[in-house]
Amino acid sequence: MSLCQKRVADGATVIWTPAPTAEADYDPQLAISTATILPNQRGESMSATPLRKLYRSIGKNLAQDKRTCNEMIAGLKRSAEGNLASMFAESLEINSAFDGIAQPFLNATSSKARKKLTSGSRGDNRIVYLLSERETVAVINGPRGYAFRYVGHQVPPFRQEGVGRPRSGAGGIDYTAVAGKTPVLGEIKRSGDKNAFFAFVQLLTYLSEMATPNQVMRATKHKEFGVPLKDPQQFDLHVLLGDLNKRSATLGLIEPTRQLAELFRERLGRQHGRLLGKTLCLEMNSAAFAESPDSTLGCLWVA
């Protein structure tokens, strides 16, 4: 492949990298070298990491997602070059260059501009609203005594003050929470939405963006999770499947995603394994949850 350099306005720093290949030629099992563009003067993150590239390549076709998930499982089993664990390590290293410690994840203006969560909220926001209304949410059929408390929603890991006005669903972690003193990153997938595999890759992408030393310090300084964090900081991950259609073909990816999550943990190694807490696949029937006095979610698997 030829090398290329791309000029970006606003003072962004660009690193020489191989020229990108066509989307159709993307092989998730190969080590991915992508253009690494550090934050520009407006504070915008413009990094394209291996995990970000993987995330953008999936979620378009269920059959392709199943093949990619199986390829990822096979790659981890044989410790192939460019497997999911090595993609995470490379992405984490790239993201470590970002320094937004001085500013919160959402400034006051952006937070105020956000559409309020209400009982009339729809889609993912309805599920987030239901979580936000409960003091704590307990998980049944999961880790013994596991419960979490909602903290926030649509948190953009790299956005800084003066950059855009985030819209609901326009980007960011679906919800953040704390389980005891452990911060939680949560992704919601509803009936007819993307699948568990897609959500897991999203969560790994966000973990690689939130677990860097600078981001942990930033989260602590601005009380993003309401609890002090330390480096290295462990995060729990939640794949929350809402209002599942029991006839949906997306259900076929729940079990392979569990296998992938377990193998991923095994291959992370001591250094990066310290950043990953529990990964839970949760299920919510929003109508039943709204009507029930019990604040509980079912757990389909834990890795």
Mean pLDDT of 265-279: 94
Q: 255 lies in which domain range?
A: 3-302
- Name the domain count of the chain: 1
Q: Mutual orientation of helices 84-95 and 62-77 as an angle, nearest 10°?
A: 90
H or E stretch covering 101? none
- Alpha helices, DSSP H, located in 96-163: 108-113, 124-132
Across all residues in the chain, what is the average pLDDT? 83
Percent of the chain past pLDDT 90, that is, above it, reads 69
Residue with tokens 């462990």: 234
Whole-model pTM over 0.85? no
Residue burial 18-29, b: 16+ Cβ < 10 Å; e: rest: eebeeeeebebb
H or E stretch covering 238? strand 235-242
CA–chain centroid gap for 289, Å, is 24
Confidence of residue 270 (pLDDT cuts 50, 70, 90): confident
pLDDT value of position 160: 59
Confidence of residue 47 (pLDDT cuts 50, 70, 90): low
Q: Mutual orientation of helices 84-95 and 254-273 as an angle, nearest 10°?
A: 50
H or E stretch covering 239? strand 235-242
Mean pLDDT of 217-227: 96
- Checking if the pLDDT of 142 tops 90, the result is yes
Q: In this structure, are residues 110 and 165 in contact, taking their beta carbons and an 8 Å threshold?
A: yes
- Of 119 and 132, the structure prediction assigns the larger pLDDT to 132
- Checking if the pLDDT of 192 tops 60, the result is yes
With a CB cutoff of 8 Å and minimum separation 6, the contacts of 252 are 66
